Chains A and B, each alone.
Chain A
């Protein structure tokens, strides 16, 4: 497979030259400017070194690491496998539940541990609620990047309801430390199921409202369609995952293709980009994949709530975690894509090595590839559509 390096045709100009209004050719020089680390559209502390020729981006060099906290070194120095979970929380702070689950699942595979069915269902419910919350932030802030402020407030209003559900379950609103190796920290409170059902019924019409105000907005489509096109072969070569990969038309979702939890017992469909407003793999496709995934998540939550079995959620939590020597790489589908944990055990109670394969890190590495030749303003659209969380990029 070869990586396609051609640019989208609507941007192609002769480098180093522009045409003036009188038709004369004017020589231009390249200039290097910084976008970030403090810039509202980089969604955190990301510095982009941009080589520009007039308004046209010739090259982008991302500089990351401003939030590096040495997750992997910390994990090697814990006394216990469970103690790593609060650190995993803080990687992708918008999707802590999914991070916890990814790590817990890796250790469970290492221990060959089966968790009770009730735990599996609770985890699916929590992970999908978290996916909606995370996508809401992604879509809301993407609206702000494009100059639409209202959808941002609506998204945060709906996200509050999810955080309320998390708060009544485990007391925390952002960093939960909820999913443990072998179980979860608290059983669902009595009112949870009713309130979650209420949320599902409440949320579905809200997605239509979001579509009306932002998704099918003429200006929004003009800003995002045909911008930052990521062809499927480049996406696979750069190991993009999640909405990035599905936006490029690749029907690939780990919840279906490498199943974990109880996703295989639930009826749902992965969403892929079809190029409805422009080219397959443009920013609008990545955006709409997230919108439709929220509705699929609601479907999953409703089915999981209906099938929720009874049981003790802490029955399988091991008193002492001491896996045999060995190693395991487990990947789960976080809101941003393939979240992998590579855990090596040396037979002691401390992990020998924990490597986190952060989806945002990998997705960001394709940025130079898809933004060469675009306008500076479009770069904002492209960075927003990648949906990075710098806590996870830098770990």
Chain B
């Protein structure tokens, strides 16, 4: 399916949840509502004409306008088509539905996005830090992150 068809079919099913789309971009993307993510993810995976069974990548992004975002790069091993789904949430209260039970790989990717951006994935079974130490202050990939001068009483040489 072309990105246009994917967008049209998704909008036909979730008219109110498809917020924004840019189909003439280098890689077209569709933005959906944060509180419907899991529902839409299940539909994208199970609908016979979509069958996005392979989630290549889940990336957190700080858009630096008060919003954090999550970008899902989806791929279908059956139909060989791609989709880029975006979700944004406010930085002061970042909540997005977890999709770990839709794609197993999302489990660790969501932990990484939580670690780096502090995005809360509602429904995630084990939302712990994955790369940084458990007691690390703050979320390092946020654009407003300040490298702490001391970490556990040790001077950070940086």
Contacts and interface: CB of A to CB of B under 8 A. Distances in A.
Interface in B22-72: 25-27, 29, 45, 53-57, 59, 61-62, 71
Contacts of B133: 65
B109 to A, nearest CB: 8
Most interface-central of A76, A234, A353 (chain B CB within 10 A) = A353
A109 B25 CA distance: 12
A236 B108 contact: no
A365 interface: yes
A238 B100 CA distance: 10
Contact of A353 (B29, B61, B80): B61
B-side interface size class: 20 to 34
A158 interface: no
A245 to B, nearest CB: 9
A166 to B, nearest CB: 29
Contacts, number: 83
Contacts of A342: 57, 59, 71, 73
Contacts of B127: none
A196 to B, nearest CB: 33
A96 B140 CA distance: 25
Interface string B70-112: 0101000100100010000000000000000001110111000
B141 A73 contact: yes
B130 A64 contact: yes
12 contacts: A72-B116, A72-B141, A73-B140, A236-B77, A237-B104, A239-B54, A326-B26, A327-B29, A329-B27, A329-B56, A355-B59, A395-B131
Interface of B: 25-27, 29, 45, 53-57, 59, 61-62, 71, 73, 77, 80, 84, 103-105, 107-109, 116, 129-133, 140-141
Given A237-B105, A365-B104, A365-B105, 12 more contacts: A3-B104, A72-B141, A73-B140, A238-B103, A250-B77, A327-B26, A329-B57, A331-B56, A353-B61, A357-B56, A361-B108, A365-B108
- What are the nearest 4 A-B pairs in CB distance? A239-B105, A355-B59, A365-B108, A357-B57
